[in-house]
Amino acid sequence: MSLAPPPVAARKPHSATHHGVTLTDDWAWIRDPGYPEVTDADVLDYLKAENVYFEAAMTPHAALVESLFQEMKGRIKEDDSSPPLKDGDWLYWSAFKEGTQYRLWYRKPVAGGDDQLIFDENAGAEGKEYFRLGAFAVSPDGAKLATLVDDDGSERFKLVVRDLVSGKDIETVTSVGIGQPVWTSDSAGLVFTEVNDQWRSYRARYHRIGADPAAAVTLYDETADIAFSVGVGRTTDDRFILISTGNNSSNEVRFVPADNPYAPLTLIRPRTPDVQYEVDSAHGSLWILTNDDHVNFRIASADPARPADWSTVVAGSDRTYLRGIATHRDHQLITSRVDGLDQLVLRDYATGIEQRVPFAEASYSAGFSGNPDYAPEAYRLHYSSMVTPGTAYDYHPADDRLEVLKVQEIPSGYDPALYVTDRLMIAARDGKMVPVSVLRRRDSKLDGSGKLFVYAYGAYGYAIPPSFSTSRLSLVDRGVAFAIAHIRGGDDLGYQWFLDGKLKSRTNTFNDFVDVTRGLIDAGYAKAGQVAAQGGSAGGELMGAVINQAPDLYGAVVADVPFVDVLSTMLDDTLPLTPGEWTEWGNPIEDREAFELIRSYSPYDNVTAQAYPPLLITGGLHDPRVTYWEPAKWAARLRATKTDDNLLLLKINMGAGHGGKSGRWNALHEVAEAYAFVLTQLGR
């Protein structure tokens, strides 16, 4: 039975003029004028028609989707739990029970006693299409729990306080919370942040338990810059509550005593363009990680009484990229990256001697994991590589020893000897060498006869780690090598690597991906047309730009919640994704040069009459990050413009947001759908 013709979105002429240039957009109507409420009948009918077409196109492959899903599910331990982590007088952990979609959260006294179930996500998700626990914070006295929950994907979270003695919820503090709430030292109240109608985290407030939530005191309100968002935190020594405000390139931090939230806020150092800093506290000093005098950051100290006077403790380095610091009683935990590989370092306060946590593999992903106690006996960390399952360790600095606490269990079995990981450096067109991590079967041949899957993100300084994934084994076991392209726009090779993929250098990101693909083809991983590609959000923008530039290289492309209508979005300062993003993409409203650059690569604006590879595009109706109309408009324009008859599918999650469906099995089923699409298209 042949597939019915795809939906055809109506064309309704629309134009706007900027910098003397008239932009036309026949599908602008797909944006409901009442957004974030989407009630327009024509819009909903079109989105539903696309979903019906998606289901019809995937129905013949239902057996493959189910096989992939069961395969991937079989690699996940259903009744799994995390290693307990000490926080004060309690040990905390989470667990999944067999057959459940969501976590259960437990604790028990360090001194001994029964396990206590303190939060059941499954109960909270019952009857809901979507459920996400965004934050989980127990009060210092252990008596109360604060949670933030999103039940529609809009990322506007309800902040609820639970009495852990009775097990009952006692207060709803706000319905538009976001981020991690912070308890005061006396457990009497919470500092939290809220979003406004444009989904900007704009203020920090203090609520005292038992008081009217509407009377919460505003500690800080960001009114000076609509591009700045507010966040709160707490220093490791529990001395201060921190309130930060910033965008993607600069920020400033204030602090208030954790035992007196009503005290005046102290500003550490005023915001400066392109300067970032983060702060912790220990031994009566502030410890600051900042890029104020070196692109790869330095570590400084300051007296809280003179917080703007910074003294260098660890100088910036061209080779070592300093990425994070947490200050505990006995050591500073420093996260860095050298030559693209994670380094975990313990630094002694008195001597400055640094102790690096040892790892044996040549390529891996590692990081410190929480460590809420100020003075732990050992430090919790996580580790994996593309061939090594995730492992939780406690590192004992006294004897330089890694204690294995838990190794990711794969119930259906896993033999690492069957796989090999390659680390390549591939030249981009401007001569820069781009790192690539590849997972493949050991018995695969690099003679061009195989298939290849290339994944990347390439924005905001986020590096895709070469870590372990059980899902991708379903591709690799079917002869598809899985590659991660560590392209510019991420910070894989240092902060400059990020800077070299943003603003005026944005096209480096797209060129890197295309050049990596060609390099892998030249290395024998696959032939042109036998390569699949995937990216999401800004990585979805990457997919759009790549297929405009070099569509012949790819036999299947998956673009998840793709940020493809870049120009229109950056021209609309009422959208949540816009003012705070100008430092990443440029401000085309005020800057003609930025306007022309974005117009030159914006995927939606550069769809042309050419053949495109098979495409699977996804979106979420409630997505506040990449609004649903971006993927929907892109699909409509592609259908009306492309010259091929390759399959193009659009799937809009009508009850979810940026991350797709919630629940571990629902999310896994969407991965199975994407992989089935790739396999069937590469196998044509």
Point out the residues that are catalytic: 537, 623, 658
Cα separation, 610 vs 406, whole angstroms: 51
Q: Residue 231: what residue type?
A: G
CA pseudo-torsion sign 38, 39, 45, 48: positive
Question: Where is 153: in which H helix or E strand?
Answer: none
Q: Residue 531: count other Cβ atoms within 10 Å of its Cβ.
A: 26
Q: How far is CA 222 from CA 198, 225, 419, 577, 637, in A?
A: 14, 7, 51, 17, 38
> Prior bond to 273 cis, omega within 30?
no
The DSSP line for 160-207 is EEEETTTTEEEEEEEEEEEEEEEE-TTSSEEEEEEE-TT--EEEEEEE
Q: What angle do CA 553, 559, 561 make, to 5 degrees?
A: 160
Residue pair 256/263 in contact (Cβ under 8 Å)? The answer is yes
| Burial (0-12, 13-18, 19+ Cβ within 10 Å), 145 | buried
Residue pair 108/127 in contact (Cβ under 8 Å)? The answer is no
Please choose, from the candidates 634, 479, 665, the residue with its C-alpha nearest in 3D space to the C-alpha of residue 568. Answer: 634
Query: Which residues lie below 8 Å from residue 660, measured CB to CB, with a gap of 6+?
Result: 560, 561, 618, 620, 653, 667, 670
Please choose, from the candidates 271, 296, 355, 192, the residue with its C-alpha nearest in 3D space to the C-alpha of residue 583. Answer: 271
Beta strands in 315-464 (DSSP E): 320-327, 332-338, 341-347, 354-356, 365-368, 379-384, 391-396, 401-407, 419-427, 433-441, 451-455
- Enter the tokens of residue 546: 């790549």
CA pseudo-torsion sign 158, 161, 164, 167: negative
The sheet that has 90-95: what strands, in order across it? 85-87, 90-95, 104-109, 116-120
Q: Residue 389: count other Cβ atoms within 10 Å of its Cβ.
A: 18
CA pseudo-torsion sign 37, 38, 39, 40: positive
Regarding beta strands 480-485 and 433-441, do their DSSP bridges make them parallel or antiparallel, or are they unpaired? antiparallel
Q: Residue 212: count other Cβ atoms within 10 Å of its Cβ.
A: 9
Residue pair 530/542 in contact (Cβ under 8 Å)? The answer is no
- DSSP letter at 407 equals E
Cα separation, 682 vs 684, whole angstroms: 6
Q: How far is CA 378 from CA 285, 368, 555, in A?
A: 23, 11, 49
Query: Which residues lie below 8 Å from residue 60, measured CB to CB, with a gap of 6+?
Result: none
> First CA to last CA across the chain, in angstroms?
17
Give the 3-state secondary structure of residue 403: strand
